[in-house]
Structure 1
Amino acid sequence: MNRTLGLVIVLLVILGVAIYINAQRQAGADWKDGTYVARSEPDERGWFGEIEIQIKDGKITSVNYEELNQQGNRKGPDYPYPAGPGSHDDYEQRLISSQDPEEVEAISGATQTRDRFVDAAKKALQKAEEGDQSRPPAIEPPPPVQEPGQMGAGWRDGTYTARTEFDDYGYYGEIELVISDGRITEVRYDEKDREGNPKGDNYPYPQGPESEDRYEEQLLETQDPEKVEVITGATQTWERFKEVAKEALGQASGEDMNNQGQMQTG
């Protein structure tokens, strides 16, 4: 009897703490009414997120988010990876619904956009706690940096494909890159079995196939396989992705035209 009573008390305490935490979140951390603007840190190519959040009666009532470069150009329909700017409206609505940047779930193909969105939203809400409605200062463009051996010089326009060898389980990675105006504009990567069937929902380690879209997005953002960061639980996929990406880009630069990858033009 005493053991049952003790268990009930513990459960009630846990429930009470959960209700308190939820109430604190709903309270909006004592946000002051007003309009607050903040920016994320710029990425290595100078793109940053800028957010405008309106607080009314202590709650987020309106969110406007966009991504710009340091020359003031906005990502639009001509951006080579449209999933990024195409996700802005959804992220805005998710923040209004959740009232918490950390509760904004990532959209497939727009993970890095989500990271910048959350960064900017947290900064704006910090200003809301302080009642600071000032706008952020202009971001000065960084001086150009030419890295030794940097990829991208001399890529020829066209479509390039490459694939890995079969692994111990009979799977291989295959990539198709599109180069336009000397830049990577499209990336398609899949891991397939010997019959050419992609890994799908039934694959026992879903982190692998789930990471493919994010690795594609990173390569489009960075334009360099060596700057594609590993995703937890998908290290082998990352290694295969980098291997075939470098091979395909070697073809694009004319360094490796005799391997199993191929180039198409026109």
Structure 2
Amino acid sequence: MKKIKSIMSVFALGTVLVLSGCTGGQTTPATAVKDPAPAQDGKYKDGNYFAQQDAFAKGWKYMVTIEVKDGKIASADWNGANEKGGPDKVAFSASGQYGMKKGGAQAEWHEQAEKAEAYLVQTQDPTKINYKDDAGHSDDIAGVSVSVKDFFELAKKALDAGPVDKGPYKDGAYYAEAPMYGKDGWKYSASLTVVNGNIVAADWNGLNVKGGKDKDTLSADGEYGMKEKGKAQAEWHEQAQKAEAYLLKTQDPTKVNYKDDAGKTDDIAGVSIKVKDFFELAKAALDKGPIAQGSYKDGIYYAADEKFEKGWKYMASIVVKNGTIVGVDWNGIPEDATKPNKDVQSTNGDYKLAPGNQGEWAVQAQKAEAHLLKTQDPTKITYKDDAGHSDDIAGVSVTVGEFFKLAQKALEGAK
């Protein structure tokens, strides 16, 4: 990651900014700071410092990590986590998905963050910054137009609190989802963000086999209606947020006690829904490790057949995090709305393939999904006939052409 690791590197900052910090064809001044105060030797205790905001605002929560060596701030990292989990703000910006320059900014967010970090390393004091407005903008740092108040206030908070140990997890984005849609048509997922070894964002959500709004959004828009329909104490998204907050507090998805097999708990005040799915998925995500950087646009993508044929309408749902396809589902929606989806029917033995197939439909569908997760490209498949059979996927004898075509259609918006 992009950090300034020593005080010596700051002396070269002016040259770097002349090359990369230009806006509107004008040359950036040769120094990044204006009359910085001299650093004081041995001011801070050596170690790792960390502070984060208490809550998300406009979808983001900011945090600062500082490394002190020989009594001086050697590096500083200003970052952000999104309430939906996934890549941190630096990674999101560096991938081009945050897109500040497209909106007319002089530089991307992570580039401006680097200059604010460099200013702190040079001044060695988070209070040596002047703001020109209540929003926290400053003219002290050349090439920086974003508000920097959050960064410097968090830096002071971290330094005031003293050194802390890093968390146990590797920094990055994490994701896991249930293997299939349930009888109720929902499939759940957990998306996490780790910075400085700490879980700083967690999102528990659900996707419906028929597409449409995710469960968080559906509930927030008042369309899921747990309070009205089920007399619940709070809506689904409100209870989900409390479960997420509990994980952020405990930093361990196994630190929860269940009072029944369904997965309900008394550990989280105000939560009556079963939470076992969320904590088990969070653990699965952490066990898998961080998501590698990919080339797609983050989001949830869905495509389905326009009409039913032979009693079924097929769909493909795809989840992209950190630019990588991390969740895939191929399923069939029954024309008879009283029956569950094809995955469930196949798993329960209510839908059986003809003798000679290499496994039940749900098992073969999962292998086709795994192929897409591995290749990351729905066009990386060869067919041996017009029906859409393929020898590329071991253990799959059903036609898969429909699935990969739907996946390709769904991902059109992810390019």
TM-score in terms of structure 2 length: 0.27
More helix by share: 1
Q: Which has the higher contact order (CA 8 A, sep 6+)?
A: 1
State which structure, 1 or 2, has the greater radius of gyration over its C-alpha atoms.
2
